Chains A and B, each alone.
Chain A
Amino acid sequence: MESLIIKEGQSTPKIVLDKTNDKFEIAGNSLPEDVLGFYSPIFNWFEEYIKQPNTKTELHIKLMYFNSSSSKAILDILNILEDVVLKGFAVDVFWYYLEMDEDMLATGKEFEGMLKLPFHFISYIQD
């Protein structure tokens, strides 16, 4: 399956979806003007991925800022991944937040509460 790599943009996060090398990452800021336009190919990629997922999927989400429509898009992605867990594959979500960013942690906790996915919260310090 082809990888989906998107470089970090002015208002869009870096996307690394590489099945072969077991790399799944969303990082940066997400506030695109056209949220659907940006996330549609990512949804499509995941829809394709869950047909034949890896035995273990580790999704790393390291976002500094996302607007509310992006947050719904990320939730949709996690929803898709939930199906992988239901099929019996392992999925882990690594939710990174700046040590002082309790809002980001709270959003992660909110998602965790809504999903049947194991979340791992990792705080980091701004470099």
Chain B
Amino acid sequence: MRFYQLILLTYFIVFKCLFIYSQEIGQSISDLEISAAKYEKENNRLELARCQTKLGFLYKENNNINKAIEYFQKAIKSNGELGNENAVKNLYVNVGMIYSEKENYEQALNCFKKSLQINEKLGKKQDLVSDLINIALIQQSMKNYAESNQNLEKAVSLAQEVNDMSSLKNSYGMLSENYDKLGNAAKAREFFDLAASLKSHIQKEEIKKFESRTKLAEAEISVKDVEIKSRDKEIRKMTREQQLTQELLRQQKELSSLKDKEFQTKERLQEARQRYTYLIMASLGLFLLLVSGFLFFIFKQLKEKKKAYEMLEQSNRQITEQKQEIELQRDIATSQKKKITDSIYYAQRIQNAVLPPVSLIEKVLPEHFIFYRPRDIVSGDFYWMTEKDGIVIFAAVDCTGHGVPGAFMSMLGVAFLNEIVNKITFNKHIRSLHASEILNQLRENVIGSLHQTGKANETKDGMDMSLCVIDFENRHLQFAGAHNPLYIIRNSSFMQIDADKMPIGIYKTSSIPFNNHELTLEKDDLLYLFSDGYYDQFGGVQNTKMFSANFRKLLLEIHQKPMAEQKRSIQEYYDDWKGNREQVDDVMVIGFKFEPQIVFSAVSQEYLWSDKNILIAEDVDFNYILLFEALKPTKAHVIRAVNGQAAVEYCRENNVDLVLMDIRMPVMDGIEATKQIRLFNKQLPIIAQTAHGEDTDIEEINAAGCNDYISKPINLKTFLTVIRKHLIK
């Protein structure tokens, strides 16, 4: 009995739920009654019917059965007036169920019959089955089993017609019970079996339906599963949830298979069925979620891929642009480098041009070698020489720095040295020049021109150097050095003349003059001048500096070789030592052999006048000495006349080959003396001496009978050339 009541209750609840969900929830009864009165007043039947129905349900909920029935009846009336027969029919069912609950079977029967009439009229066979079963149920409760059975028979045939297996099974079940009550065990058994077989059939159908749905879902899931498996963890986590759901579904399936065979378990089946639907819905929902998640993921990936591709393209473009830019820069750099290199190569030509010409060195120092290797194209090392009146000045200079800055310093050095030596020899005879004074003056010039004051943060530039002044006739050597010493090898023994421990440039001791060293040279002495670049070169087995000791050892080993071979040995030793390493600094090593006759032999052939008598008419002692010294290498016989008168007298009585006639003299000047000599000797060469700055009339000199003139202070070479011209005539 309870079972059928539950069916009705279910029906009721479903109906009520549907109703409530279509309406506003939570409206209080009083509010609704006010509304209903309002609608009644307004004659708004539709809203009135709704309010009444709602009130019926609310009262029913609050167990106010009478009020509930009252409002349902009112609603039936209102809906009836509206012609809304569906609502009327449903309301009758509700009221019927309330009466049934209250065991007011007469009224309940009445209500269900009203519903039945409406459904017959509307031709709703499915609802008719429900009505018939409800009626049969009430009749069964009234122990009116035969009548109940009649209605059930009708319900059975209708249920078969509409293929409502559930109602059919319920009808069979009730028939079985009714026949049981009527004592017809056979019939009861027959209908029980029918109901049971139907129940199992329904269950099977349900399961089958569920299984096919599950299978479908599973199939789809497994397809997605494969795709999902290849996706990231998050999706896998979701897959696990899905698997859990499947597990849940399987459990539910098992649960359903374990369903009690008893009729009492029927409603559970229904609930389960509903739950299955929810689960399927949920699984479908989950599935959709997965698919959309998956699609979103794919979409995102595609988008990211596209973005990455775009970024790649952009960076490719940038790289190409950068490459072009770099190539452009490289081309610019290459052309700039070429320009700079070309310009440095041109600078090298200038630097080479200011170095002493080979012809001069060959003439003065025939036995020599120069190993000169700039680290870069141009050099901070340079050598300098000059030759004046049988005196040779030779310097090897190492300017700070190398390359272009070094070369700048070297040009400064060359210019200063030329200027200094010219200035010194202008004022005095080259023989009275000191090696050290050249260094002193050079230092002054460097400090002055570089504006060095000695502060820490200013240019440290300067020079290290060694300088020799060699008087070939007297075999006299002067040496002065700034850091760089002079090596001499004599009779296979090594000598070193130390340099002062200070540079040409600002230094703590730059106010102290350089020392002048003097030494008498012997024939075949070997002199070596150099910069430290040679022995400071890194290399060898241990990659150390060569050190000066090894350099000296090398020189001692090779000093007996001819100069050209010495150069080769020095070069090879350096290259072997350096190996593949970078050249540290500019390199310069100069060596020469002292040959005392060299300068004389150079003049001796053309300028050896040992058989000639040369008269020097000169009143000033110093000027006489200069001329005397200049003529000394020629071995000519030199006679002095202290004025013009003495010169005329000497020429009258002696054999004279040439006269050097000073113009300004006491007693008788040069012009008058020449005129008088010409009276008795037309051929004698007379060469006038004119002094710089003196206002001498060349025409007057020529008119007096002079053959030529020389300017004082004399240039040795010009001087000898002029004399030779007139002597050899």
Contact = CB atoms under 8 A, between A and B. Distances in A.
Interface of A: 31, 33, 35-36, 40, 43, 47, 64-65, 67-69, 72-73, 75-76, 79-80, 98, 100-103, 106, 110, 113-115, 126
10 interchain residue pairs of minimum CB distance: A72-B460, A110-B501, A69-B460, A76-B456, A69-B400, A43-B456, A68-B400, A114-B508, A126-B542, A103-B548
Interface stretch (B51-59, B192-200, B297-305, B532-540): B532-540
Nearest to B543: A126
A67 B544 contact: no
Contact of B501 (A31, A100, A113, A115): A113
Contacts of A101: 544-545, 547
B547 A100 contact: yes
B544 A102 contact: no
B173 interface: no
Interface in B66-101: none
29 contacts: A33-B401, A36-B460, A43-B456, A64-B544, A67-B401, A67-B585, A68-B398, A68-B400, A68-B460, A68-B464, A68-B483, A68-B503, A69-B400, A69-B461, A72-B505, A76-B456, A76-B460, A79-B456, A79-B508, A98-B544, A101-B545, A103-B535, A103-B536, A103-B545, A103-B547, A103-B548, A106-B501, A110-B501, A114-B508
Nearest to B461: A69
Interface of B: 398, 400-401, 456-462, 464, 483, 501, 503, 505, 507-509, 532, 535-536, 538, 542, 544-545, 547-549, 584-585
Contacts of B545: 64-65, 98, 101, 103
A102 B549 contact: yes
B118 to A, nearest CB: 103
B538 A65 contact: yes
B460 A40 contact: no
A67 B457 contact: no
B410 to A, nearest CB: 14
Given A36-B457, A69-B401, A100-B549, 11 more contacts: A31-B585, A36-B459, A43-B456, A67-B401, A68-B398, A69-B461, A75-B507, A79-B508, A98-B544, A103-B545, A126-B544
| A contact face: mostly helix, strand, loop, or mixed | helix
A31 B584 contact: yes
A78 to B, nearest CB: 10
Interface hub of A31, A67, A103, A115 (most chain B Cβ within 10 A) = A67
A67 B400 contact: yes
Nearest to B536: A65
Contacts of B462: 68, 72
A67 to B, nearest CB: 7
A80 B584 contact: no
Contacts of B460: 35-36, 68-69, 72-73, 76
A84 to B, nearest CB: 15
B547 A65 contact: no
Given A113-B501, A126-B542, A103 B532 contact: yes
From B456, B460, B461, residue with most partner A Cβ within 10 Å: B456
A68 B464 CA distance: 8
A79 B455 CA distance: 10
Contacts of A73: 460
Nearest to A66: B536
Contacts of B458: 36
B233 to A, nearest CB: 47
